[in-house]
Structure 1
């Protein structure tokens, strides 16, 4: 365990926040939760977890504050919290999009020591009842590095993420948002389209729906208001949709001409198989902004943050070839 945080406050006790509260307790760190929804707060309390009556009470004495509420609530939460944050308290979040959160921090809590975060570990179920302390195991966790980011704060947070079994991926907010447009936003839009198109096939099609339909439309079960927070206000999703539409149009044109969808099927098959069979090698990194961002750009992540008399060393993994 890295020498890190002593008391963590998690504001928002849904799937991600609830899982984080449980995982942090299992890691042996003092943790307190807070949620604006009385039913959620009561459920967490009934499960044996400390829940503060106000956000101010939750962050009192905390050296890490995690914003785990939906994106539309972040600005209001920051306004309320800013006067109660200690000068050395680190603030992070778990939202899918990072640029809007950075803008909210710069506007409402400009003096906060902020490191944006995004654990890519969600499932289609939501709420405290879906929380799982093992949710983050082996999952990537984007940690944002911007010119104003405190590297010491980033390292402490990366150490915690490693302790929780996740894989910290250093990246800028813009690069992160562009990437998740293709691997989170686009899959949700396509799943919605598939679910609606399948329904239009009538009762027979739905009675024959099996693995392909269920797998392809699985994330369409996600609450629509959450999907919009992951997709709206992300211009990179437009380009991702353009690419997907171009592939679909090509397949449609081929079928209409009596040809085959084989080119798209083969290209998609190779893309998926190559992703599954990537190989990685261990590396050692310096704690510099430029090297961290470059490591993330190559698809690498951090595996450990080590401190000794000579300073800080970072171990990581990166793709080979």
Structure 2
């Protein structure tokens, strides 16, 4: 079986890192947190969680290190912990964009057993007190599998994520970043634009704002500096914006000519309903990196890592789910 983790360090105790600290502790793992913000560190410590005085202290002796700080703080954090990282420790992260994190870790800790990660479980709230130990239940969790990724480390993380109730999705950094440009970056930019456009309607429009406006602009409540880290530096977001702008421009031109937005409404309704109505079925997967990456491309995730029975006892078997064609 993959390695288990005896000591885990979580660096960064905001919504995601704080929720992970709580989930790991609730699952019986030995976990230490750290956050340079005394408010976040104090909130976690006050509830009874173990919080180290420094990132260096938090990772000492840890066999799994979770990087949960904002992307602009990553380089400094890697420099601070590098002398304290155990030679065989596994590193992962929870950031939205994966390519910049992968580059930073390769630059600062080139020999690290790094497996990038991204839980799709955030909300517009932030901070430790906004977290919850069940935040990751049934949430997709991109788990990066590059050609040079340590497969044993990847499998060990997949076991842990399944234990937390999450759905590990095998993918590469580039494929993950291209995908989330359309389902995270673009929705946030559209939400900001909607919030601004609503203001242009004056006080009457704001008084009449109801579900469509509040739901569509909900993500504009997210801290702006976080939104920037999810969007900046992701070239795939440009093509996603181009697609959205093309739909809107076409509909705008149709309206200007006295036509109807029905084609846009029908296409959007069909896309949303097809997404909601997808059916999934179980699959057995080989312990093979490319097969796992293809499973992720097909919309699948891992449900369990188990040992085979019978004459092949000791070999691993991966169980998963993917859309039924």
| TM-score for both structures, normalised by structure 2 | 0.97
Output aligned runs, 1:259-298, within 5 Å: 259-298=259-298
Moved over 6 A (4+): none
**RMSD between superposed Cα atoms in Å:** 1.1
Output aligned runs, 1:91-110, within 5 Å: 91-110=91-110
Aligned match of 1:319? 323
CA distance in 2 between counterparts of 1:17 and 1:198 reads 33
Aligned match of 1:28? 28
Output aligned runs, 1:193-204, within 5 Å: 193-204=193-204
Aligned match of 1:70? 70
CA distance in 2 between counterparts of 1:84 and 1:186 reads 38
SS of the counterpart of 1:299?
Answer: coil
Kindly indicate whether the alpha-carbon contact (under 8 Å) linking 2:2 and 2:152 is maintained by their aligned counterparts in 1.
Answer: no
1:172-216: CA deviations, max 9, x gaps? Answer: 000000000000000000000000000110000000000000100
Kindly indicate whether the alpha-carbon contact (under 8 Å) linking 1:2 and 1:163 is maintained by their aligned counterparts in 2.
Answer: no
Would the alpha carbon gap of residues 289 and 3 (structure 1) be closer, same or farther in structure 2, given more than 3 Å must change? closer
Kindly indicate whether the alpha-carbon contact (under 8 Å) linking 1:21 and 1:33 is maintained by their aligned counterparts in 2.
Answer: yes
Structure 2 segments unaligned to the other structure (5+ residues): none
Kindly indicate whether the alpha-carbon contact (under 8 Å) linking 2:63 and 2:90 is maintained by their aligned counterparts in 1.
Answer: yes
Kindly indicate whether the alpha-carbon contact (under 8 Å) linking 1:9 and 1:33 is maintained by their aligned counterparts in 2.
Answer: yes
CA distance in 1 between counterparts of 2:75 and 2:180 reads 22
Kindly indicate whether the alpha-carbon contact (under 8 Å) linking 1:34 and 1:54 is maintained by their aligned counterparts in 2.
Answer: yes
2:44 is equivalent to residue 47 of structure 1: no
Please state how far the C-alpha of 1:80 moved relative to its aligned partner.
1.4
Residue correspondences, number: 321
Please state how far the C-alpha of 1:5 moved relative to its aligned partner.
1.2
Aligned match of 2:220? 220
| TM-score for both structures, normalised by structure 1 | 0.98
SS of the counterpart of 2:217?
Answer: helix
SS of the counterpart of 1:177?
Answer: helix
CA distance in 2 between counterparts of 1:82 and 1:298 reads 37
Please state how far the C-alpha of 1:79 moved relative to its aligned partner.
1.3
Residues 3-12 or 63-72, more deviating = 3-12
Structure 1 segments unaligned to the other structure (5+ residues): none
2:207 is equivalent to residue 207 of structure 1: yes
2:314 is equivalent to residue 310 of structure 1: yes
CA distance in 1 between counterparts of 2:286 and 2:72 reads 36
CA distance in 1 between counterparts of 2:194 and 2:54 reads 42
Aligned match of 1:86? 86
Residues 281-290 or 179-188, more deviating = 281-290
Residues 57-66 or 221-230, more deviating = 57-66
SS of the counterpart of 1:193?
Answer: helix
Aligned match of 2:147? 147
CA distance in 2 between counterparts of 1:131 and 1:144 reads 24
